[in-house]
Structure 1
Amino acid sequence: METSFHVRTKSREYPVHVGHALLPILDQILDQETDRVFIVTDDIVSNIHLKPVLEALQNSEIEISTKILPSGESTKSLDRAQNLYCFLGENLGSRSDAILALGGGVIGDLAGFVASTFKRGMKLLQVPTTLLAQVDASLGGKTAVNLEWGKNLVGTFYQPHRIIADVATLRTLSDDHYATGLAEVIKYSIIMDPKLLQMLKEKRNEIIQRNLETITTIVERCLRNKARIVEKDETEHGTRQILNFGHTVGHAIETCSEHSISHGEAVAIGMLEEARYAVRIDALDNQFLEELESLLCSFDLPTVIPSSLSKEDLKDVMKQDKKVRHGGLSLPILVELGRVEMKVVDGISI
């Protein structure tokens, strides 16, 4: 089963492929103009998924170079970006070559950042292997590295040239890692897609069991949802900001926990905290808050800020958030399931 569609932004139009068993036919999916590929991956993904990618590309005349980085959020740094610049420079990388990001959100963000800046732009192929990356991070052109003051503080908007999401890779994830990706799926259902919300409730067992056809449908639906937003607002000056629901508190949790709490877990907690805030300012009925909490719990996602984290530290980190402008925080406020409204607030009480 494979499906595809095109994303059409002001800066680039590109195809998105979603299905299973796509890695073994990667050479058939790539355009014929790609004759040299630099694969960027990590030391966990490479042990599982690099071999079928190499075998597929070796069936073509594509020249291949591979860089394997340590896994984990700490890899998303300026130091690692410098390592990749050296790798590309030493191998005479050119603007006509492609960087293929094979992995989760960390690899996708870092490789995308390097692709957007090395020689002012190389081709970028996103081949996400985690649920979180497949439904969200791979599409939309956000690239970034972290600084000690917070997540994604140095980055660019740079649309990929192609996305290939093979949902069969999701069967290799641990249960916890898979569940964290479901937080982003739930986000889309909560902010803009009531039909997806109903699917999550009705097909919970199939989703938990990672039924390939069900997951393919969900991944495609999430990507199409995001594509519609990105096509309207590529650089996040308007509508696209609703996709940050849960991420203001979530990114602060990640930073303050020194990334011991994963992105998906942090976003799950962040969504609920931001929904609680919406209830406190009378923007959201408490029954919707309870429904969101029940949904998160049904997929074994956390709903409470760990007591080990200082709420004052979280507030300090949120002051560094990219969504702070002119002293005010631009926050997506959930007003009902399926709809959010943007409001500028002084801060979030948590």
Structure 2
Amino acid sequence: MAETTDAVTTIPVTGTQPQENYDVLIGHGLLARLPEILGPRAQRVLVVHPRALRSTGELVMNDLRTAGYESFSAEIPDAEEGKHVQVAAFCWQVLGQNDFTRSDVVISVGGGAVSDVAGFVAATWLRGVRVVHIPTTLLGMVDAAVGGKTGINTAEGKNLVGSFHPPAAVLCDLGTLLTLPVNELLAGMAEVIKCGFIADPEILRIVEENPERVRDSQSAVVRELIERAVRVKAEIVSQDLKESGRREFLNYGHTLGHAIELAERYQWRHGAAVSVGMVFVAELAAAAGNLDEEVVHRTRRILESLGLPVSYRGDRWKQLSDAMHRDKKTRGNLLRFVVLDAVGSPRIMEVPDESILFATYQEIADEG
């Protein structure tokens, strides 16, 4: 259970090794917690941030210097453009030029793409240094920053190169969401809704009954949704760090979603692509006779109420199919999808016959 003290909610993530244990803090004014997290052994801290958050990165560095740490900046391209090996190499160069040791720390400030690449840099520098994530987007808070997955993209697909490297802490400062455009907030809600379908149906009820408050990043409703989504992920990750079991359920909607992102050259928001992916797997489960049609309709209703897409271009199937066959979840030639038997009851479905997938895709295809 999470403990709430002075309006800061602490959600623990545990693992099989001590270094896999950490806390996710949710609240306001969390930068003040950094010195106690970093501790006295660290001397140098690299703050990795996108160009769009230069002022926030400088604020974090100034706080660190005031606390007695040497702080350095690695400014990287925004969003998915930052998730390339050349960007990781730039960060390694900064670490090397400034004599970072195994007791020093990397901090990510930004969305999911930043925590992915900063985590990968930390995992690979000296075979592993500590990383602290300060997510500034809803997507980062409920998904990318929690769980220890790190990765970069290649021309062949998303996150095909990466490692598992749990952070030392995750600081979800709700105040950072104030500058987040509403469409970015709602795109991040796709990952929250995913958690509702696979594990916590109460999330779905809250979204359905509070359409306006879901659009206010500082509302109590949004905070509860963040906390519920983080609890879902923390509970699953604590049982399965390296995706050998239940953790695969967190990929609900992601197989097709990642393929759409690749087809769009990462110009689509991750949450928008996952939204379409969730409709696709709901249709797939219904077509197989395993899921009630009402769950499919509910999926569409909830996502459409947030302005999220529920269809994609009908002329892109071949490209999407090729991308899905390169997905990490594929086993041999068998495509694997997370599907539902009911809300809160996910399972893995292997699909040997691609004609079933093509027929299902027609249910979400538009004429674009």
Match of 2:285 among 278, 283, 287: 278
What SS does the corresponding residue of 1:4 show, helix, strand or coil? Answer: strand
Q: Does 1:337 align with 2:324?
A: no
Amino acid at match of 2:327: D
Take 1:55 and 1:78, find their aligned partners in 2: how far apart are those partners?
Answer: 28
Change (3 A) 1:270 1:166: same
Take 2:308 and 2:107, find their aligned partners in 1: how far apart are those partners?
Answer: 31
How much has 1:164 moved relative to structure 2? 0.5
Per-residue CA deviations over 1:267-297 (Å, capped at 9, x if unaligned) read 0011001111111111111111000100001
Match of 1:102 among 100, 109, 120: 109
How much has 1:216 moved relative to structure 2? 2.4
Take 2:41 and 2:98, find their aligned partners in 1: how far apart are those partners?
Answer: 19
How much has 1:342 moved relative to structure 2? 1.4
Take 1:170 and 1:341, find their aligned partners in 2: how far apart are those partners?
Answer: 33
Take 2:33 and 2:329, find their aligned partners in 1: how far apart are those partners?
Answer: 40
CA contact (8 A) 2:175 2:218 kept: no
Equivalent residue, structure 1, for 2:43: 35
What SS does the corresponding residue of 1:301 show, helix, strand or coil? Answer: coil
Match of 1:56 among 58, 63, 78: 63
How much has 1:121 moved relative to structure 2? 0.4
Take 2:129 and 2:33, find their aligned partners in 1: how far apart are those partners?
Answer: 23
> Which 5+ residue runs of structure 2 have no aligned equivalent?
1-6, 362-368
Equivalent residue, structure 1, for 2:28: 20
Which stretch of the first structure deviates more once superposed, 338-347 or 317-326? 338-347
Per-residue CA deviations over 1:186-230 (Å, capped at 9, x if unaligned) read 100111101121111222221212234332222122111111101
Take 1:92 and 1:29, find their aligned partners in 2: how far apart are those partners?
Answer: 21
CA contact (8 A) 1:24 1:53 kept: no
Equivalent residue, structure 1, for 2:150: 143
Amino acid at match of 1:151: K
Match of 2:9 among 3, 21, 33: 3
| Residues 103-252 of structure 1: pairs in structure 2 closer than 5 A | 103-252=110-259
Detail structure 1 runs of 4+ shifted over 4 Å in the superposition: none
CA contact (8 A) 2:110 2:137 kept: yes
CA contact (8 A) 1:249 1:270 kept: yes
TM-score by length of 1: 0.95
Amino acid at match of 1:131: L
How much has 1:74 moved relative to structure 2? 2.0
Change (3 A) 1:124 1:96: same
Equivalent residue, structure 1, for 2:324: 318
CA contact (8 A) 1:151 1:255 kept: yes
What SS does the corresponding residue of 1:325 show, helix, strand or coil? Answer: coil
CA contact (8 A) 1:25 1:56 kept: no
Per-residue CA deviations over 1:122-144 (Å, capped at 9, x if unaligned) read 11101111100100110111101
Equivalent residue, structure 1, for 2:274: 267
Per-residue CA deviations over 1:230-287 (Å, capped at 9, x if unaligned) read 1111110111111101000000000011112111100001100111111111111111
Amino acid at match of 1:172: T
Change (3 A) 1:205 1:79: same
Per-residue CA deviations over 1:132-164 (Å, capped at 9, x if unaligned) read 010011011110111101100101011111111
CA contact (8 A) 1:76 1:146 kept: yes
Take 1:234 and 1:29, find their aligned partners in 2: how far apart are those partners?
Answer: 22
How much has 1:72 moved relative to structure 2? 2.5
Take 2:68 and 2:152, find their aligned partners in 1: how far apart are those partners?
Answer: 33
Amino acid at match of 1:210: S
CA contact (8 A) 1:167 1:212 kept: no
Take 1:170 and 1:306, find their aligned partners in 2: how far apart are those partners?
Answer: 31
CA contact (8 A) 2:237 2:247 kept: yes
Equivalent residue, structure 1, for 2:366: none
Match of 2:54 among 18, 23, 46: 46
Take 1:256 and 1:276, find their aligned partners in 2: how far apart are those partners?
Answer: 21
Take 2:195 and 2:235, find their aligned partners in 1: how far apart are those partners?
Answer: 12
Considering only aligned residues, what root-mean-square deviation do their CA atoms show, in Å?
1.5
Which stretch of the first structure deviates more once superposed, 338-347 or 269-278? 338-347
Change (3 A) 1:33 1:17: farther
What SS does the corresponding residue of 2:170 show, helix, strand or coil? Answer: strand
CA contact (8 A) 2:37 2:169 kept: no
